[in-house]
Amino acid sequence: MKCAGCEHDNPPGARFCNNCGARFQAAGPGLAPGAYTPRHLAEKILTSRSALEGERKQVTVLFADLKGSMELLADRDPEEARELLDGVLERMMEAVHRYEGTVNQVMGDGIMALFGAPLAHEDHAIRACYAALRMKETLASYAEESERARGVPLRIRIGINSGEVVVRSIGSDLDMDYTAVGQTTHLAARMEQMADPNSAFVTPGTLRLAGDAVITRSLGLRPVKGLDAPLEIHELVGAAPARTLRRATERWSRFVGRDAELERLQRMLADARQGHGQVAALTAEPGVGKSRLVYEFITSPQTQEWKILESSSLSYDKAGAWQPIIDVLRRHFELGERDGAGAIRTRVTDRALALGGDLESALPPILALLDALPEDDPFWTLESRERRGATLDALTRLVLKETDRQPLLLVFENLQWVDPETQAFLDALLTRVHAARLLLLVDYRPEYEHHWASEPGFTELPIEPLGPAAAGELLDALIGRDRSLGPLRELLVQRSNGNPFFLEEIVRTLVETGVVVGERGAYRLATEAGGLQVPATVQAVLAARIDRLPHDEKLLLQSAAVIGTEVAFALLEAVTDLPGDSLRGALQHLQAAGFLHEAGLFPDLEYRFRNALTRDVAYASLLKEQRRTLHARIVEAIERLYRDRLSASVDQLAHHASRGEVWAKAAVYNRQVGARAVARAANVDAVRAFEAALAALRHLPPGPETMERGIDLRLDLRPPLLQLGRLDEVLAVSREAEEMAQKIGDEQRLARIYTYLVNYHYLTGETKLAIEYGLRCARVGEACDDVALQGLARQYVGQSYHVLGEYARAEQTLRENLDLLGAQHQGGTPYVASCAWLALTLADLGEFEAAYACLDQAHRAAETSRHAWSQVIAWTMAGLVALRRGHLARAVLPLERSVEACRRKRLTLWQPIPSSLLGLTFVRLGHVGEGLGLLEQGVAQSRELGVHAYLPAWTTNLAEGLLADGQLARARATVEEALALARAGGERGHEAAALALLGRVAAQAGPAGAAEALEHLDAARRLAETLGLRPLVAASHLDAAGVLAGAGEAERAAEHRAAADRLTGELGLRPWHDGPETEVAELGHLFIVARSNPELYDFLTQELSGARRIRVLLDRRQGDREEPVDQDLRTWGLALAPRQHE
């Protein structure tokens, strides 16, 4: 059988295409669904048909068939065969309809049914499972009778899966045209085919939704045709015991944020105990925690002396009259599941009469409810209305009589699903509660209607979502407080709107998808969360609520969802077809139903979704074409309504233009969004926007103008990609832009492209190639008088000269660049970077005062620009220059701030630099453990990013940390690696530093290593003298003096010490390893962080949490400080106070 859609060949008799899942023509009796759907369900479907058509729905699909029907019925009379099959099909359909599923097809020997569409149910998976269990139960007795009477063994198979379908249309005969999304129906059909006779197989997706409402047995991983990987299959065994509040609570999370509600209930409990009966009604949206609050209350110490009876209404059992009452009676009389009618009569009679009073007349109605009243009892001769009245009276008297003996706490949950008879009982009881020792505790959702407000003792307690603090406390228990989770925690609170169930389900989804790893309460972020996926469990709850709305209000909510979480009234009015009065009325109803609330009145009336997840579900229910049309209309409306302030709406315009496929506008608006993100150092947002602009541009007609715009967008994209450390992508977009520029012969754009090729080669360690490209770009910039192009090119050339150890050329190039850029370009990164690298060059040469002057220029320019990339360059180089001079305390603070900014702003490419330098500073301060971690991190990040520039320097720093930690073997191997890297890259300054450290490592062997140590130190000193690295020369002399003194060569040691002292004095160096009189000992240490910089306080607190001699304080004082604080450190938003000596 060939599929008409995809032309895939399928086996004979197939009902669905094995490739695309499309439905084939039914091979059964050919009856339309209207012929076998119960009237009450048909009316529901037809009433809401217009609101259901053209939507995406989350559903559970059930397939059931008679195993081997052709073989069983082959030799039978056609009428007899039809009679047997009809008996099977009738029982299958009855089970489906009992749980309000829809039989979408009858296929000869089986059926296909949908739960959740066209009628939405939040518990569609549970309903499908219960329908399957009922099929097995009812068909078991039919099969037994059939085999006994006709010798025909009947065995059925059932398969169940949950997923998404698109409901396209519903005919008057209830025939539904739908399209499966993905493997929804395919997997359900496969489960049926794989199922053993008289069994039901379910997929993990269905089991996840059904939760603990069903009992299953895992069959392990099994291959499924059409799937690449095996799937864990479960056999449906039975229904879980009726849910009560006493069940095990091991899956429940920490109980938070409900102290006020508990206290209110306890006050009502005290009043009821004194004989002033109370009715407490808890109302809240699904998932807010009504049941949890009830559980915590009835298990509290205050209720220990109370008799507690509880029950709950079920969404799929509304037709089961009196069922919650029956549950209460069985618990009250302590009846067992296997107790027969006689045992029930005896126990109920004895217990009821023991209560005293005239309860004998109440026994027949109570026993009738418990199916224990004899058929010949006169009670059955009463009219139906009389029996109902007698039953209500008997139940009320039983409850009130019980309160005479002891206080009674009666609990009824989920009244939004209550059956009419139980509702009538509650109405009757409420009129007599006020004089009894009774607390009636009920809960329900906002849509539940009652008339109890005027009854004595009635109090309705609305349960609000958790506030931010309580939601944060719940998240502490669910995922923990790892630093990597900071932004995710904020997003979770925002998206869940404080709904505990939503929070728990989203966290569970994050764990299952590997976004967070670890264990409960101690997770850490493993990958980017991106847009949080709405869990299927949450989606089912919200979709069912939305589907219950009237048609116009549902369409309005969907239109609002396309606009966004915040919805301007003017915009909604412009994109919907509703008249103004109707629109306002519908919005009022949506507010009353808890979907929207007024967020602002001025300058525009604005609404906001109460829950972001509700908005997501409403949006997802629309078909793609419906979304596209609405997005395009929104772009036109914004441009018309806000034409005088479009810049404030550019994010909205970019989003809607892309989603509405208005490609020309999408390219323009997304580029504007990207440019603004770059200015704010929001690199991830910038990349996303520029890529969206490029995607839009690809839909426009080709031509020179489109080509130029494509080149410019790729040039825009490179800086944020670079700062994020995505070097491969930088190279890829550069090559794409280069090819395009060459095609149209645009030399100026080519030169701009080459500036980033310069940087790419610089970062990847191809320094000489970087200089070659840089000089070429500078010449093009001169030819076309493009100062910005020249400045960027010369900046990279100067940095490259520094890497190679050509310090004189680096200094000259960078000074010339600063003169070129002048005051006009002081706010740009090339100016800040040129100042910073000139400062570093001068510090390496020992010209520290000149270096400080350059740092001051860099700092002022960076602070004026407020650009994060420029700021971290200035801060890092300030710390590095201080480190070079031995001013360790001054080095810590700007380096700390740089590392913290890199993490917060995701400046991934730069982060290894301050991490390594800060680690080295900590090591030299004596905090080896804290420092070593940062040193390892700096080297690992550089390697992971593929950045080879300065990698020998960071590797040498790591070796020094290992040496300080006593790991001599690792220190030697690491510094030898650094030396090899420096020589391979021609980085002579870094070669000298590695040689000096190698000498120190060799000196740890004592006199036996003295010769090797001196050899390396002499080589380091000679190379440093050649390059003009006077601070390194001084350090080499000092180290050589120590080696010689240890070897007993006092005279030579004194010569080196004198040379070291002379240079140290000339340069103003503070030798960090020269004794306790330096600030190493003074740094006791107390970091005082300005109250204006809480992010830095959080960072320092975590980073230094293991340091025994360091404390971090947030300065919460008001007004000016009286204590003297180092003015230089105030620049960084910190102060450093030495610890008082004890």
Which pLDDT score is estimated for 140?
87
Across residues 322-327, what is the average pLDDT? 91
Across residues 714-721, what is the average pLDDT? 91
Residues whose CB is less than 8 angstroms from the CB of residue 498 and which lie 6 or more positions away in sequence, other chains included: 464, 465, 466, 467, 468, 470, 471
Amino acid found at 106 = V
Which pLDDT score is estimated for 540?
83
**Confidence class for position 1135, pLDDT limits 50, 70, 90:** very low
Say which range, 247-256, 307-316, 673-682, 786-795, has the weakest mean pLDDT: 247-256
Statement: residue 246 has pLDDT above 50: no
For 537-572, the DSSP string reads HHHHHHHHHHHTS-HHHHHHHHHHHHH-SEEEHHHH
Residue 100: in which H helix or E strand, if any? Answer: none
Which pLDDT score is estimated for 1080?
38
Q: Is 628 helix (H, G, I), strand (E, B) or coil?
A: helix
**Confidence class for position 923, pLDDT limits 50, 70, 90:** very high
Across residues 420-438, what is the average pLDDT? 92
Which pLDDT score is estimated for 1139?
39
Which pLDDT score is estimated for 979?
96
Which pLDDT score is estimated for 1120?
46
**Confidence class for position 1022, pLDDT limits 50, 70, 90:** very high
Nearest CA among 930, 923, 921, 995 for reference residue 956: 995
Report the chain's terminal Cα–Cα distance, integer Å: 91
Q: Please, what's the largest Cα pairwise distance for the chain?
A: 126
Task: Determine if the peptide bond prior to 364 is cis (ω within 30°).
Answer: no
290 within 8 A of 451, measured Cβ to Cβ: no
Helices (H), 449-499: 468-478, 486-496
Q: pLDDT (tens digit, 9 = 90+) per residue, 542-573?
A: 888 888 888 889 889 999 999 998 999 989 99
Which pLDDT score is estimated for 1137?
42
**Confidence class for position 1109, pLDDT limits 50, 70, 90:** low
What mean pLDDT is reported for the chain?
A: 84
Residue 867: in which H helix or E strand, if any? Answer: none
Q: pLDDT (tens digit, 9 = 90+) per residue, 81-132?
A: 677 788 888 899 899 988 888 888 887 788 888 898 777 788 899 999 999 9
Residues whose CB is less than 8 angstroms from the CB of residue 256 and which lie 6 or more positions away in sequence, other chains included: 466, 470, 473, 474
DSSP 901: H
Nearest CA among 352, 350, 394, 403 for reference residue 369: 394
Cα 381 from Cα 392, distance rounded (Å): 17
Residue 22: in which H helix or E strand, if any? Answer: none
Q: pLDDT (tens digit, 9 = 90+) per residue, 886-915?
A: 998 889 989 999 999 998 888 888 999 999
Reduced 3-state DSSP string for 784-849: CCCHHHHHHHHHHHHHHHHHHCCHHHHHHHHHHHHHHHCHHHCCCHHHHHHHHHHHHHHHHHCCHH
Helices (H), 22-111: 39-47, 49-52, 69-73, 78-98
Cα 596 from Cα 602, distance rounded (Å): 17
Structural domains for the chain? 33-239 (3.30.70.1230), 259-460 (3.40.50), 468-533 (no CATH), 537-622 (1.10.10.10), 909-1080 (1.25.40.10), 1086-1137 (no CATH)
Which pLDDT score is estimated for 749?
87
Q: pLDDT (tens digit, 9 = 90+) per residue, 49-81?
A: 444 455 778 889 999 998 866 555 556 666 666
Q: pLDDT (tens digit, 9 = 90+) per residue, 149-171?
A: 776 778 899 999 998 887 654 54
Residue 883: in which H helix or E strand, if any? Answer: helix 868-885
Nearest CA among 985, 987, 958 for reference residue 973: 958
Say which range, 251-265, 704-718, 1081-1095, has the weakest mean pLDDT: 1081-1095
DSSP 534: P
Residues whose CB is less than 8 angstroms from the CB of residue 632 and which lie 6 or more positions away in sequence, other chains included: 656, 660, 661, 662
Residues whose CB is less than 8 angstroms from the CB of residue 240 and which lie 6 or more positions away in sequence, other chains included: 212, 213, 214, 215
- The pTM (predicted TM-score) of the whole model is 0.68
Which pLDDT score is estimated for 977?
96
Cα 497 from Cα 493, distance rounded (Å): 6
Q: Is 215 helix (H, G, I), strand (E, B) or coil?
A: strand
Cα 761 from Cα 772, distance rounded (Å): 10
Q: pLDDT (tens digit, 9 = 90+) per residue, 568-622?
A: 998 999 998 788 788 989 999 998 888 898 888 777 789 999 888 889 989 988 8
* pLDDT top residue among 121 and 917: 917
Amino acid found at 945 = L
